[in-house]
Amino acid sequence: MPRLLAVVAAVTLPGRLNAAVQSAVEFAGSQPCVSATQLVLADYRLSFADGRPPEQFRDDSGHVVRMVAEADVVLLASPVYRASFTGALKNLLDLTPVEALCGKPVGIVAMGARPHHYLGIDSHLRAILAWFGALVAPTSVYLEPCHFREGKLADPAARSALIALVTAVLALTEVPRDRLGPPPLASDPR
């Protein structure tokens, strides 16, 4: 049974992005033999990455990284912040060992104020996920405030895109990991 983990990389009070990701988790969980969980980084205390293994910190770092590592599929959702994703997500990725995301299907969800921000998160996050050797869905979902009504994702096209992304990353679990090409350079022990 594939386990999907949706990470909301906002550290503010839950808002629209959280609601959208919750709807993606509900959709994933309604699929046969899929377990889906939402992890909101605002609910956890993570240390700044300093090279130590996450289990050595006396906070939630080890637990959160373990959740990422144990998932079969990961959705990473972040608001646009300074033309990229949040520092909270970058810190989580800095704490995460390569093998936790290597060959793992990953989908990207971003939310920004205007359409012209849509590639800010996508281009930066794809480069980092390539370093991990993650199997990233070819397209991502970009949400804007106009897609919401009363705090809920209401735009039919945005809802369809989110469902299509979840469907795609779940389908990527069927790809044998030994057919994904060479391991990422980051996994070279040199």
- Give the pLDDT band of residue 103 (cuts 50, 70, 90): very high
Determine the pLDDT at residue 151: 92
Determine the pLDDT at residue 180: 76
- 34 and 28 Cβ atoms separated by less than 8 Å: yes
Q: Is 70 exposed, middle or buried (0-12, 13-18, 19+ CB in 10 A)?
A: exposed
Determine the pLDDT at residue 147: 96
Q: Strand 152-153 to strand 148-149: parallel, antiparallel, or no bridges (unpaired)?
A: antiparallel
Give the model confidence (pLDDT) of 105-143 as tens digits: 999 999 998 887 778 888 899 999 999 999 999 999 999
Mean of the per-residue pLDDT values for the chain?
93
For the chain, which domains are there? 3-175 (3.40.50.360)
Give the model confidence (pLDDT) of 8-34 as tens digits: 999 887 799 999 999 999 999 999 999
Determine the pLDDT at residue 127: 94
Determine the pLDDT at residue 91: 97
- Give me the mean pLDDT over the 47-76 stretch: 96
- Give me the mean pLDDT over the 55-69 stretch: 96
R_g over Cα of the chain: 16
**Distance in angstroms (rounded) separating the CA atoms of residues 12 and 30:** 28
The residue to which tokens 């959709």 are assigned: 27
Side chain identity at 156, as an amino acid letter? Answer: P
Identify the helix (H) or strand (E) that includes residue 56: none
What percent of the chain has pLDDT above 90?
A: 80
Determine the pLDDT at residue 19: 96
Is this structure's pTM higher than 0.85?
Answer: yes
Answer whether residue 102 shows pLDDT above 80: yes
**Distance in angstroms (rounded) separating the CA atoms of residues 152 and 146:** 11
Of the candidates 89, 77, 105, 102, which has an alpha carbon nearest to the alpha carbon of residue 175?
105
**Distance in angstroms (rounded) separating the CA atoms of residues 133 and 180:** 9
